[in-house]
Amino acid sequence: MIQTRIVMSSDEIRSALSRLAHEVVEGNQGEGSSLLLLGIRTRGLPLAERIAANILKFEGLATPVGALDIALYRDDVLSRGPTLPHVTNVPTSVDNRTIVLVDDVIFTGRSIRAAMDAVMDLGRPRRVQLAVLVDRGHRELPIRADYVGKNLPSALSEKIIVHLTEVDGADEVLLSEIPSSVHSGNGIEGVSDRAK
């Protein structure tokens, strides 16, 4: 029987996103007008929108939000088979801006590498930062998040499942065991963070 438990409730997600918004503002003092939040599709986008809403609420600062699709930048494109790309929608130039990439889970770091490649194809930002709801460890690339909602050490035999109201109808983060028949012991990814 697969064991699944809630590791972040709706209230905990709301609190984490509020804190992330404060940290993003504090980490970019005096540069608020140059901020651009780019949510990595799928669940990074609603998280970016919520962080921007919190920044507006706390600071009165309207921060533009864009959607970044990384499907064609991944290093596992061939092994994953055909993928329907989503739309990348960036509301303003990335040139000379502070880009804050937003994602639900960071795992191996490969999705973030792909996202940075996608951003660099759009222009030349002043700098790129990373905000994630969950950091589960197991990095394969030298990439770390600047802003983390929750550090959640996990085993490779587990997966992190993020549900957001905008996509899934509810807010929660689950930790679930991967059945031993599926787990290969190397590189198993969670439902919402494959090859991240």
Give 49-60 pLDDT, tens digit per residue: 999 999 999 999
Percentage, residues of the chain above pLDDT 90 = 78
Please give the pLDDT value at position 30: 86
Give residues with Cβ within 8 angstroms of 118, minimum separation 6: 68, 69, 70, 73, 88
Distance between first and last Cα of the chain: 26
Question: Exposed (0-12), middle (13-18) or buried (19+): which is 76, by Cβ within 10 Å?
Answer: middle
Residue ranges of domains in the chain, CATH in brackets: 11-154 (3.40.50.2020)
Q: Can you tell me the distance from the alpha carbon of 130 to that of 143, in angstroms, rounded to the nearest whole number?
A: 9
Residues 109-129 have a mean pLDDT of 97
Q: What pTM did the predictor assign?
A: 0.89
Residues 106-132 have a mean pLDDT of 97
Please give the pLDDT value at position 179: 78
Q: Can you tell me the distance from the alpha carbon of 172 to that of 9, in angstroms, rounded to the nearest whole number?
A: 5
> What is the residue type of 92?
T
Please give the pLDDT value at position 181: 62
